[in-house]
Amino acid sequence: MKSLDKTLSARDVVAQLADGMTIGIGGWGPRRKPMALVREIVRSNLKDLTVIAYGGPDVGLLCAAGKVRKLVFGFVSLDVIPLEPHFRRAREQGALDVWELDEGLLQLGLRAAAARLPFLPTRVGLGTDLLKHAPHLRTVQSPYGGETLLAMPALELDAALLHVNAADRMGNTRIDGPDPFFDAWFARAAKKCFVSSETLVETLASDDLDLARRNTFERSLVSGVVHAPCGAHPTSCAPAYGWDLPHLKTYCASAEDPQQTAAYLSDVVGADEPGYLQRAGGRSHVAALPLPIL
């Protein structure tokens, strides 16, 4: 059993990443983002990353810290704050190479990588200005009737970062919220997948009949598991806690100028995760955050 133990620290995870890697980040906007792992990247010397995400404060924080060279995204939003301000500032300043996709094309790119295919065909984007704004995209002719289709290229990941409600030491995971989003495709598209988890146990109960539904990707895909209580903060992790809107507003205000950004990175993100969580109000504060009603 010892040889199957995949537990790591967040710092151990970051030590397996390298400059220039393509990193996929699971979750969705301000929902179930692996923020503890993202903050550990912020504290590191990593740079020149390509990030692929349905973005929220994960993308914004990495942009604020100057970690991102290229961004492939469906959106970067905090929902109630429609446009993530640190991302907006980086894009307006031309600090990023960006490839904006619709949500479905991004998913198709992950699915192609998961299937180890160079692309997947689709009708999405045909008849629009997509090919004008993304001239590197190509079309293909169907061998069955000759229809012209868009060829969405595979979005291959060096690593995926995900956050779950529960995990065991072998890499089995459980997502208890109502929507697993596209985390399974991130896991399957990546050479390595690292998971942070609210709770960590020796073995997830094999007699839990609901586990198969909530365990959306195989443990064989998981390279490491990090115990990170409240590790999605300030995003939500249903049903455990909601997003921290006052904290998100403070975070967004720090995008107003470089000095405020630097102060947020040093004084709030800080040198380690226990210190961050204490400054965020502690576990009891996070656990009491109400789930958003949409």
Domain ranges of the chain: 2-101+155-287, 120-153
Q: What confidence score (pLDDT) does residue 208 get? A: 65
* CA atoms of 272 and 195, how far apart (whole Å): 18
Q: Is the pLDDT of residue 290 over 90?
A: yes
Res. 104: pLDDT tops 60: yes
Residue 179, pLDDT score: 93
**2-101+155-287: which CATH topology?**
Glutaconate Coenzyme A-transferase (3.40.1080)
pLDDT at 138 over 50: yes
* Per-residue confidence (pLDDT) for residue 90, from 0 to 100: 97
- In angstroms, the Cα distances linking 239 to 29, 102, 119, 260 are 16, 28, 36, 33
Q: For position 294, what pLDDT does the model report?
A: 74
- Element of type H or E holding 53: strand 49-55
Beta bridge partners, 222, equal 193
* pLDDT higher than 50, residue 182: yes
Using 50, 70 and 90 to split pLDDT, how confident is the model at 211? confident
Q: Give the pLDDT mean for 4-17.
A: 97
What pLDDT does residue 1 have?
Answer: 47
What integer pLDDT is reported at residue 206 of this predicted model?
Answer: 64
pLDDT value of residue 213: 83
CA geometry: angle at 241 spanning 198 and 287, to 5°?
80
Mean pLDDT, the chain, rounded, equals 95
Per-residue pLDDT band for 8 (boundaries 50, 70, 90) equals very high
Mean local confidence (pLDDT), 277-283: 97
pTM: 0.96
Residue 31, exposed/middle/buried by CB under 10 A (0-12, 13-18, 19+)? buried
What band does 237 get if pLDDT is binned at 50, 70 and 90?
very high
CA–CA separation, 79 and 163 (whole Å)? 19
pLDDT at site 73 = 98
Instruction: Tell me: pLDDT of 100 over 50.
Output: yes
